[in-house]
Amino acid sequence: MADRVLITIRVHPGASRARVGGWHAEPGHERVLGVWVPQRAVDGQATQAALAGVADWLGVRRRSVRLVTGARARVKVVEICDPPADLGERLREAPC
């Protein structure tokens, strides 16, 4: 596996509970992973919660997940540094 992997996510702020899963298409993006967080999109709180959620879901440290683009957008590109060896399998098995 590479030293870093880019994943496109779509943050859904204000959810009743936090969860990660479900691949779908977004305009301009082929595959986007849904990330639901209870935090609102205020002062970057939802973005930080989404990055923490992705890190937890992948079983990596939070500092291994970095925002690349989309600081003020719901669709974001994140970078996973030093991804786990089974990352491909985890991404394929993302719950819907």
Confirm if 7 and 54 have CB atoms less than 8 A apart.
Answer: yes
Residue 65 has pLDDT above 90, yes or no: yes
- Looking only at the bridges linking them, the beta strands covering 29-37 and 75-81 are unpaired
Q: pLDDT per residue over 15-61, tens digit each?
A: 999 999 888 888 887 889 999 999 999 999 999 999 999 999 988 99
Fold classification of 1-16+37-83 (topology level) = Conserved Hypothetical Protein Mth637; Chain: A; (3.30.1200)
pTM over the 0.75 mark: yes
- For 57, other C-beta atoms within 10 Å of its C-beta total 18
Q: pLDDT per residue over 4-28, tens digit each?
A: 899 999 999 999 999 998 888 888 8
